[in-house]
Each structure stands twice: as structure tokens, then as C-alpha cells.
A and B are shown apart, each in its own frame.
Chain A
């Protein structure tokens, strides 16, 4: 009988540390499937962040570097400048990318670094125990916004994709979600397209993936998926934000 479903070669066969119902596992798989399909595993160098995905170097079956908090785009730029023919990607969460690493992502995009960033937006810090992120929604309760995020004191959730899309160096930016099968398929296409753009040398590429954090949201996995759909998508509209012709 033919095997119709198996682990991508770009993913190492070990148990992941992610919480039950967390969507990191799905996104890891999508990235790995895209690498397999484009046959780029042997020339891909990934950069892991600080945050829940800090151990990504144990999961992706390619050369990896682990960066300091927020610095993955700078590390990736260093790698790509040395190996312009390799494929370089960063995998970063919202605290890493949109807070402490805001400068690095903006300037990597603006320089048109030929790298791909997979940006996990789950509106919260996961690894450190559910603190407010730059992407935390208004009125959302977190460990450090216990009365709900208020714009007058904590400002507004940052729409990273729209912001980066204003930069000339950005070649392809899309926001996707992984709350149901249809959207997972769409997310996969976006990640693959970002890698293709990189292979074509077009410039900076980023896919923002709306994701869940059942543990720190205090919800079941199923409730989390519904919360994402009902609350995150209205504020963070899905779709292509930038596509260089």
C-alpha cells in the first residue's frame, strides 16, 4: 500500500516540547513540507528565536543557528551575506519579533535581506508565562495586563505585516492563520511562496501566522481556535500585504 502521509524529511523525528493544542507544531510542519517540496533542505540554514520556539534547532532537519532574543533577522543577514546561494529563514514569535527585535526586523526588511521570516503571532508571550505582547489585543487579559490591555497606558496592538509592507525592500508579505484546515492549506502556500521568492532573489519575505496559545489564554485548544477566528482575524485581517511584481 502506498504511503500517502508521512513526516517531512525536513523535520526531525523527536517529540516536540510544545503544549497540547499549540499551533507551533502545525507551522513547523508547514515550513518543513515547503522545504521538502522545493527540495531545499540541504541548502537551508534556519535561525531559531528566543521564546517558545527556542528549541526549533532540535526540530528542523537542517543546519541551524540559535539567536539572542529578537536578533534572528540580524543573525540571518550575517549568514545570508556569507552564503547568498543558501536559503535562510528565521522563525520568530511576537515578543521576539515585534517587541525586543522590532529594529532588527524593520531594517532587515528595509535592506531587502533575501531571507524568509515565519512570524508566529499568538498575541501573548508563551515561554515566560503569558505576559502582554505588542500584538496583545485591546482588553485582552494577560499576566502583565491583568485588567486588560488599555490603549491609553499600553498602546495598540501592532499590525506588523501592514507596517513592514510599507518598506520598499519587502518583496512578499502575507498574513495567514492556522485555525482550520482551509486556512492551514493557505498558510502552507504562503510559506512556500515566500521561499520561492527568496530563491528568485526578490528581497525580504515574511509570513505572519495567526496562532493560538491555549495554555496562556486559559482555554481549551478548540476554544482557542474559535477565539482566534472571532477576535484576532477582525483586527489582523488575512491576506497578501505586499507582493513585488
Chain B
């Protein structure tokens, strides 16, 4: 199939439809509005249902109902809206329902701004809602990768009965790039024999629920979910390593920021500075082992994490490298996007300090 030029948000929506998603529940918020608009137009043509909910709170609970009924379903929003969805996301994780949640992140806290940011990292990977749970968090850095991860995300959700989040940002949502929609093979997925479809007695009665009033039963349930997380860690962790083999400095960044880092790396190479990049593609599970591996190498003198936040992922990088090498941070926030020259200056500063 040939490439088409598409806006990131529209590409997510089209990829979801091609991945078999037929239900979308959402609420307007900038900068993700192209996703619901695309769904509103295309889903009815594809035999699906688009519904604009009365709030983000209602939208995520519609996702709960539809996922519990066995559908491949998604929602999308941006930071303040995702905050409102956290209650429902916790229930979805507790009831072990598969769905895709897209967060096209904007600056915060509060109403914040509408420009791209990465300040929802903690909320996405450390829980966000109440209770012991994790989302699988996927962080694409190109629109093509976003398209590919949508299909992957639905499959991961169905395979493990767990909500999956695509963590984008306003830049990825709004920019246009050529993308190819390849015919992708879906994974072999377990049947949704737990879904509420009407009970004729041919299977156990389906009850979608996250309430376990007996503490021992609740602990058992959470332990079961955490065994599943171990499996996800073992099978699904993804990271891209770039020029790490002889790097003095390894920069770590995800999403949009990783692209800007790549430009800074080219500038550094022209100056004879050897810089590598570790780009986590799954933010949860975090590619801890990849960092551990490179932290042990003698040629690596220091790590520098670059984010569009005040420093969130850097905590996981620091934990992963476990004091073996210095861990530095550079970030812009509030919708300000770092430029390659600034990142290069930080690289040189880190290198000077370690020389």
C-alpha cells in the first residue's frame, strides 16, 4: 500500500478502525479533537458507533461498559480530560477490561495550556487513579509508529485483559507525516468468554466487577493482576537504542523529544562528541534492563534524560542505572519544546563535567 500524508490524530483514528475498533466514546478537548471528529465521520461508515459523552467521566465509563460487553473500544483525550478519566481507568484495570486510551498530552498543571508536553508521565506510568495497578503505556515518536502501536496496543489489551495507553503529545497529534497502513496480522487472542453478552447458561455467568469486599479475596485478585504484569514485563518491553555502541554520553528521551534529540546527536557528531540514545517505546513496562546493560559499559560516562517536563522519566532512568553512572536532566515545560542546540549545549555541559 502507498503512503498517505496524514495528521497524527487522524492517523490514530484510522489505525484504530483498521485494527477493528468499532466503538469510540469521547469528549472534546484540545489538542486531540481530530480523533473524535474522524471517528464521528468514519465509524458509522464502518458499521461502528461514535458517541460524544456528556463528560470525560461518562466517556470512560461507557468504555467500561462496552469493553465489559466484549467490544474493541477506545477513547481519547488530553491531560485535564485524562485526569477526569482516572476513576474509570482504575475501575477498568481492576475489572481487567481491555481498551485503548489515547492521551495527546498538553502542558499542565491545572488547565495549563494547549501546547505539547510530557508532564503526564508520572500519571500514566505510576498509576494515575487509585489502587495497585498499571497501564501498558506506549510512546510513539513518529506518526508511522503511532499507527503501528495502535494495532499493537489493542492486541496487548486483549491478550492480557488490561487497559493500554498511547501517550502522545500535542506535537505528534497535530503534525503531518506520510504513513503507510500495512495489512497487519493480529496476534492470536484468547476468546472474550468473560464478557456480558446475555447469559444462556452455556458458560459461567459473566460479572464485570472490581469490588472484592473480603480483603483476602482482594489481595488474591491484585496478586493475580501483578502476575500478569510480570508476564507483560517479560514479553512486551520495547526500546530503541541508537549509536550506543561507542557513546560517551547516552541521552534518554521518548516521543517527540527523542526526535529532537536525534537532531542534537547529529550536531554532536559533527563536533566529534559520541552520543547515544535510548528511546523507551514502552514507558510501562520501563526498559530497565536496557539501561542497566549500557550503564555497565566503560565507554559510557554519563546519562542525560531530556523531557518536556520538569523531570519525571528521569526518576526511572536514575533508578535503572542504579548509581553506576551519573544521571543528568534537561527539560522544558508548559508547552515549550526544547531545540536541538539547547540539548547539544546540555550534552557538552555533561561531557565537560565528566571529562
Contacts and interface: CB of A to CB of B under 8 A. Distances in A.
Interface in B35-69: 49, 51, 53-55, 57-59, 61-69
A43 interface: yes
A71 B58 contact: yes
B197 A86 contact: yes
B209 interface: yes
Interface string A130-150: 000000000000000000000
Given A63-B197, A78-B25, A68 B61 contact: yes
A76 interface: yes
Contact of A65 (B25, B54, B200, B207): B207
A81 interface: yes
A67 B64 contact: yes
Contacts of A54: 211
Given A45-B198, A83-B198, A65 B68 contact: yes
Contact of A78 (B64, B87, B209, B211): B64
B198 A57 contact: no
B268 interface: no
A159 interface: no
B198 A77 contact: no
A106 B54 CA distance: 9
Contact of B61 (A62, A83, A104): A104
A77 B62 contact: yes
A64 B208 contact: yes
Given A86-B198, A103-B54, A103-B55, A66 B208 contact: yes
B54 A78 contact: no
A65 B25 CA distance: 18
A75 B196 contact: no
B208 A78 contact: no
Interface string B78-97: 00000000011001000100
A68 B91 contact: yes
B222 interface: no
A79 B210 CA distance: 17
A82 B71 contact: yes
Contacts of A65: 64-65, 68, 196, 207-209
Contacts of B95: 66
B218 interface: no
Interface residues of B, number: 39
Contacts of A212: none
B196 A66 contact: no
A76 to B, nearest CB: 6
Interface string A27-60: 0000000000000011111010000001001000
B65 A66 contact: no
Nearest to A71: B61
Given A57-B209, A65-B207, A66-B209, A83 B197 contact: yes
A92 interface: no
B23 interface: yes
Contacts of A161: none
Contact of A63 (B57, B63, B199, B211): B199
Residue among B25, B57, B69, B91 with the highest chain A CB neighbour number at 10 A: B69
Nearest to B57: A71
Contacts of B228: none
Contacts of B324: none
A107 interface: yes
Contacts of B23: 78, 81-82
B20 interface: no
Given A45-B198, A107-B58, A62 B205 contact: yes
A172 B164 CA distance: 39
A78 B198 contact: no
B91 to A, nearest CB: 5
Nearest to A81: B49
Contacts of A116: none
B42 to A, nearest CB: 16
Given A66-B207, A71-B58, A75-B61, 17 more contacts: A45-B69, A61-B205, A63-B206, A64-B196, A65-B209, A68-B64, A71-B88, A74-B53, A74-B57, A74-B58, A75-B62, A77-B51, A77-B58, A78-B69, A80-B65, A82-B71, A83-B198
Interface of B: 23, 25, 49, 51, 53-55, 57-59, 61-71, 73, 87-88, 91, 95, 196-201, 205-211
Interface of A: 41-45, 47, 54, 57, 61-68, 71, 74-83, 86, 103-104, 106-107
Top 9 nearest A-B pairs by Cβ distance?
Answer: A78-B65, A74-B61, A75-B65, A63-B196, A78-B62, A78-B66, A107-B54, A71-B61, A65-B208
